[in-house]
Amino acid sequence: MRQLSRFSLFFLTIVLAASFLIAGPGQKKLKPEFEQFLSEVRYIITSAERSSFLDLPDSERPKFIEDFWRKRDPDPNTPENDFKDEYYGRIAKANDLFVGEGRPGWLTDRGRIYVLFGPPTERLPSSTSGGLGGRCQELWHYDEFPVLFVDDGCRGTFILDTFDLSPISELSLARETAPKPFLAAPEKPTFEFDVILRRKKTEASRLEAVVDISFPYKSLWLSFEGGRFTTVFEVKLELRDSHNVVVWENASRHDVSLTAAELKEKMIGQYDLAIPILIEQGAESLSQGKNILLVTLKNTKVGEEVRKKIEFSL
């Protein structure tokens, strides 16, 4: 099944993490022990369970809590509850690992993923990437699947900025009791790119140039299908003279298909594209004033278009 990537989709863990303890109008304040329970199970409690718990009188809530853990126990015939022990063990470990963000480690983005999916197969140390404008980042892998956290400005707060986590949903502690993820209308991504016009040769009746387009792989919206990360984007170029007449245009389609290993290697890099311009008829009109090169990139996965303009004179 085709899945769109990036944080704008409310996939499994985002939906669960959003179930914070917020008292609604007319709702009585919970006793501290019940408030603590709801806070601690925010990643694994379903919406229906949470509503039922809030509707119960205090006298019935301890039984609810007992049943909540019992039905998640993989072996109810033993005195231990391996699921509960694992869950609280991960919370404790996340608190040790992810400090310095102004909140308990298990409530950070890295802590949330750690609690839900466990320790990654590989955790690369935090690093700074010049290719991402000086952002700090941390890359985890669950087997071959990459999970990226980004710290804009390198201030010490890492935010989940990764692909749809459905390929590793089987690892999640919430996989048995989670509601189906709600896919909201995606927010518009920030698909920034750089463009440079390099003129190689200019004559009265001839213009030879190259349009260099560059953007980080991280900005692409990717689908995970058939074991590969894929997307398609289109580039449209229009060269207009000082009278706003189109004297040259070009349209091209570009497919991206990467394995997890290839994406891991390219994640901190740039996608570079060079498109040549050659005008031998009509170049005279470009020398009469200010000209405009319009560059439009369209990500066909989400239908988003981003346009940039370059003004130049011959």
Alpha-carbon distance of 69 to 85, in angstroms, equals: 10
Q: Which two tokens stand for residue 246?
A: 């189109």
- Delineate the domains of the chain, giving CATH numbers in brackets: 12-171 (no CATH), 194-312 (2.60.40.10)
Answer whether residue 291 shows pLDDT above 80.
Answer: yes
What per-residue confidence (pLDDT) applies to 19?
35
pTM above 0.85, yes or no: no
Alpha-carbon distance of 11 to 163, in angstroms, equals: 10
When pLDDT is averaged across residues 122-134 and rounded to a whole number, the result is 63
Residues 6+ apart with CB under 8 A from 68: 41, 45, 49
For the chain, percent of residues with pLDDT exceeding 90: 37
For the chain, the maximum distance between any two Cα atoms, rounded to a whole number of angstroms, is 89
- Read off the pLDDT band of 278 (50, 70, 90): confident
Q: Which two tokens stand for residue 202?
A: 């200019």
Residue 42 backbone phi and psi in degrees, to 5: -55, -25
When pLDDT is averaged across residues 171-198 and rounded to a whole number, the result is 60
- Read off the pLDDT band of 127 (50, 70, 90): low
- Host H or E run for residue 208: strand 206-216
